[in-house]
Amino acid sequence: MKLAEAEAESESGGKRNEEKIRDNAVRGMEELQCKISEIDNSLEKMHGEIQIMEKKEYQGVLAGKSSGNEDKCLEDQLGDAKIEVGRTETELKQLQTRISHCEKEWKEKSSQLLSKRKEAVAGENELNVRRKDVEKAQKALESLSCEECHMEALQKDCAAKVEMVQKFKDEMRILSLQLGNVDFSYIDHAKNFDRSRVKGMVARLIKVKDSSGMTALEPSCPTESKLLRLDWLAKAMLKWHSLVGCDEELQVAFNRRRPSATFEGDIF
């Protein structure tokens, strides 16, 4: 809002300056035109007086009289008339010089007025552009307020998600503490051992459709056999051969000293 008020004040100040310049130029043109009209009127009046004076002098010369002194001869009267004509011509030249000066000044003022008009038009165009910029800024401020509301909602949602993630982490830490005995970690049993060959605990890697078929699990991969045989597991609760067992009445069938047969006829 402060930016909009500053823009409005600058626009109003620029507009007042342009109007003041335009008014001064128009006022100067009007004064110059009044001076020119006064000079023209005085020049016409002087021309009329000169014509009347010349006519009277001419009539007086024809009658043998002088306008100021009847005792002067014709030659003196002609000399006085020439002096008066010379004085009048001098005044006429002065008036013409003044008129030319006024015309020159009028042209300069006219060019200045045209330039001021162009400046006023340019200033008005710039004012329109600034007004459009102010409108855009106001719209941006309005949209920014909406975006702030949306941002506040997103921040609340993010805080809720962070709280939920922290809750899950706490639950995972509690479960890890409860199931610490099944944590699978080991030490490399050979130099440059490829850890990518170890995928993890068998119980986590396989899926059994029928839980009644989960009688026993026996390691078969050489890597697993080495880990169990060489006892390189970092955490082991029991010996590897005691991890798989059966009921006592079936123990005889699983004794390696005696052969056993399945219903399908397999002997082992």
The answer, yes or no, to whether residue 47 has pLDDT greater than 50, is: yes
The answer, yes or no, to whether residue 226 has pLDDT greater than 60, is: no
Query: What CATH number is given to the structural domain containing 21?
Result: 1.10.287
Q: Which two tokens stand for residue 132?
A: 């459009």
pLDDT at residue 133 in the model: 85
Alpha helices, DSSP H only, in 64-207?
74-178, 202-205
100 within some domain? yes
Residues 54 and 120 in one domain: yes
| 97, 34 contact by CB (below 8 A) | no
172 within some domain? no
246 within some domain? no
Residues 189 and 145 in one domain: no
**Domain count within the chain:** 2
The answer, yes or no, to whether residue 239 has pLDDT greater than 60, is: no
155 within some domain? no
Q: How far apart are CA 101 and CA 114, in angstroms?
A: 20
The answer, yes or no, to whether residue 219 has pLDDT greater than 80, is: no
Q: At what angle are helices 2-63 and 74-178 packed, to 10 degrees? A: 170
Percent of the chain with pLDDT over 70: 51
Last-in-domain residue among 150, 171, 206:
150
Residues 130 and 233 in one domain: no
135 within some domain? yes
Residues 75 and 6 in one domain: yes
Reported pTM:
0.27
Residues 134 and 201 in one domain: no
Answer left, alpha or beta for residue 95, where phi above 0 means left and psi between -120 and 50 means alpha. Answer: alpha
Percent of the chain with pLDDT over 90: 0
Q: Which two tokens stand for residue 8?
A: 């409005």
Residues 97 and 204 in one domain: no
Q: What is the mean predicted confidence (pLDDT) over 101-110?
A: 83
128 within some domain? yes
pLDDT at residue 89 in the model: 82
The answer, yes or no, to whether residue 134 has pLDDT greater than 50, is: yes
Alpha helices, DSSP H only, in 208-257?
222-229
For residue 128, what are the domain limits?
A: 2-150
Contacts with 53 (C-beta within 8 Å, 6 or more apart), sequence order: 84, 88
Residue 128 is which amino acid? N
